[in-house]
């Protein structure tokens, strides 16, 4: 998220246990808060509408939500990282006028892309005109929301950010239930779209109020290097996260068809629950990489461009390497404990959430896969910090290909292998990425010198 490191730094600089704990909690809520609120809203709408709609209609709503969030997340990857890179660089330089122009431009591009793809998918479907229109509208609104979430780190008041999503998803729940009683499934989509749009509009207003500068224009920033590899990196990473489910939708023999949507609910629920188990690792990554590793790397970079003595540069490089090792080790140990606990207590967890029994084995495999995947994400993030964009993109492309292959092989083997394709894909990509990152870190002095203008 753009500027999140600067924001977290305000908490951790105080040096107290309370401020450190608050920094980690802030990182966790900024990463997972909007996501969890959205899930609660969807579950609430399903529960409250059971007396109003048939099971098939509720499955249609869930299918719409799943496809909307899946493909909007993948599409937003095309614009997210490049916008975050530009805004973060300029905020670090003290240029706050960049936020609103870049935010407006990326939303314009992202919204246009969502509109084209949404029309291409929903217009040919055999649905009412109203359902088509509001499905496309929800698709665009969620795309705007993904884009806005990448700018949340810019804002100083994180509590208000979470509040805007809480109010937006509360409105989505209330309006969906009320309008659903009056207008049927069209009313549910109208209500949910309205709530998501409210959260997006509120967050946009907060960004405008804090960062608007009279006369600010995007034109000067278009001359800044855009790093096109970040476009591919964001798209491939998000596609990789969803690739196994897309393969299951396309080829699973027992998939459920609901209108235009094909679903495998047991597998989808298991993977989603597995992603929730890695929230602690995500918080650690935000703090350890965005702050601790970044500080060490910034000091090393300053020593290089400041022509410090060779002994100083080498000492700073060793501090970068030590910081990287310690950060990844902490993530591995802390998340390893959470993942082990999730696997051990999986039967009780599956039962408490009323998930189908077959989800148990898939959840255990997916939890292990999510653990390996979050370590992969940490290494990729470090490579992005080192501006190794092409190398990172190749590693992410490998993860995507492995996801597709792993899901296909697990479908050929059958139920006992479901979820292990994700484990294999994350493991293969991690084994390829970690040595590559280590190789570049060992040659950090040469690489940093080579990047400097002559």
* 345-389 residue pLDDT tens: 999 999 988 888 889 999 999 999 999 999 999 999 888 888 889
* pLDDT classification of 1: cutoffs 50, 70, 90: very low
pLDDT of residue 275: 92
User: Could you tell me which residues are beta bridge partners of residue 258?
Assistant: 261
Handedness of CA 338, 342, 348, 354 (dihedral sign): positive
Same domain, 140 and 283: no
Same domain, 215 and 278: no
Cα atoms in the Cβ-side hemisphere of radius 13 Å centred on 121: 21
Domain count, the chain: 2
Average of per-residue pLDDT values in the chain: 87
* pLDDT classification of 284: cutoffs 50, 70, 90: confident
pLDDT of residue 448: 67
C-alpha distances out from residue 68 to 135, 138, 193, 261, 273, Å: 8, 7, 11, 11, 19
In a domain, 244, yes or no: no
* pLDDT classification of 23: cutoffs 50, 70, 90: low
Per-residue pLDDT at 453 exceeds 60:
no
Q: Which residue has the higher pLDDT, 332 or 442?
A: 332
Round to whole Å and give the CA distance between 341 and 113: 41
* 3-state SS class at 261: strand
Helix axes 185-211, 55-92, angle to 10 degrees: 10
Return the minimum-mean-pLDDT range out of 71-80, 135-144, 171-180, 352-361. Answer: 352-361
Same domain, 183 and 46: yes
Round to whole Å and give the CA distance between 31 and 1: 9
In a domain, 257, yes or no: no
Same domain, 351 and 207: no
Q: Write out the two tokens for 346.
A: 């999986």
Return the minimum-mean-pLDDT range out of 21-25, 284-288, 324-328, 421-425. Answer: 21-25
**pTM of the predicted model, to two decimals?**
0.89
In a domain, 238, yes or no: no
Answer yes or no: are the C-beta atoms of 71 and 55 closer than 8 Å.
no
In a domain, 260, yes or no: no
C-alpha distances out from residue 367 to 95, 160, 342, 353, Å: 41, 32, 7, 16
Give the percent of the chain with pLDDT over 70.
Answer: 87
In a domain, 424, yes or no: yes
Same domain, 40 and 183: yes
Answer yes or no: are the C-beta atoms of 206 and 155 closer than 8 Å.
yes
Same domain, 169 and 28: yes
In a domain, 239, yes or no: no
Highest mean pLDDT, choosing among 9-13, 280-284, 383-387, 425-429: 425-429
Residue 143: which domain range? 4-226
Q: Which residue has the higher pLDDT, 159 or 339?
A: 339
Same domain, 172 and 292: no
pLDDT of residue 244: 96
pLDDT of residue 8: 56
């Amino acid at each position: 998220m753009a500027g999140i490191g600067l924001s977290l730094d305000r908490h951790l600089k105080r040096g107290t246990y309370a401020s450190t704990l608050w920094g980690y909690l802030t990182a966790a809520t900024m990463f997972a808060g909007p996501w969890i609120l959205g899930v609660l809203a969807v579950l609430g709408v399903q529960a409250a509408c059971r007396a109003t709609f048939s099971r098939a209609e509720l499955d249609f709503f869930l299918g719409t939500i799943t496809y909307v969030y899946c493909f909007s997340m993948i599409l937003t990857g095309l614009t997210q990282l490049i916008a975050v890179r530009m805004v973060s660089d300029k905020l670090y330089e003290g240029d706050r006028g960049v936020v609103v122009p870049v935010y407006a431009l990326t939303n314009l591009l992202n919204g246009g892309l969502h509109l084209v793809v949404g029309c291409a998918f929903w217009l040919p479907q055999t649905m009412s005109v109203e359902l088509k229109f509001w499905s496309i509208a929800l698709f665009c609104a969620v795309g705007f929301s993904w884009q806005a979430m990448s700018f949340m780190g810019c804002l100083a008041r994180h509590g208000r950010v979470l509040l805007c999503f809480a109010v937006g998803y509360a409105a989505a729940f209330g309006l969906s239930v009320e309008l659903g009683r009056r207008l049927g499934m069209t009313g549910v989509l109208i209500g949910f779209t309205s709530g998501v749009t409210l959260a997006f509009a509120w967050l946009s207003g907060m960004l405008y109020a804090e960062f608007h500068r009279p006369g600010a224009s995007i034109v000067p920033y278009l001359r800044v290097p855009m790093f096109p590899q970040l476009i591919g990196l964001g798209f491939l990473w998000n596609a990789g996260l969803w690739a196994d489910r897309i393969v299951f939708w396309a080829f699973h023999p027992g998939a459920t068809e609901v209108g235009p949507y094909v679903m495998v609910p047991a597998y989808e629920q298991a993977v989603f629950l597995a992603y929730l188990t890695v929230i602690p690792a995500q918080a650690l990554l935000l703090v350890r990489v965005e702050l601790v590793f970044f500080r060490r790397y910034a000091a090393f970079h300053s020593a290089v461009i400041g022509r410090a003595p060779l002994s100083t540069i080498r000492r700073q490089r060793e501090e970068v390497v030590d910081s990287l090792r310690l950060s990844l080790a902490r993530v591995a140990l802390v998340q390893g404990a959470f993942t082990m606990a999730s696997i051990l207590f999986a039967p009780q967890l599956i039962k408490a959430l009323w998930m189908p029994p077959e989800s148990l084995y898939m959840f255990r495999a997916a939890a292990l896969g999510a653990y390996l995947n979050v370590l992969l994400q940490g290494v990729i993030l470090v490579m992005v910090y080192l501006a190794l964009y092409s190398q990172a993109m190749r590693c992410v492309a490998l993860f995507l290909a492995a996801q597709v292959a792993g899901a296909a092989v697990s479908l050929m083997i059958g139920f006992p292998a479901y979820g292990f394709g994700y484990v294999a894909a994350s493991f293969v990509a991690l084994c390829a990425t970690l040595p590559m990152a280590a190789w570049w870190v060992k040659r950090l002095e040469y690489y940093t010198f080579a990047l400097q203008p002559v």
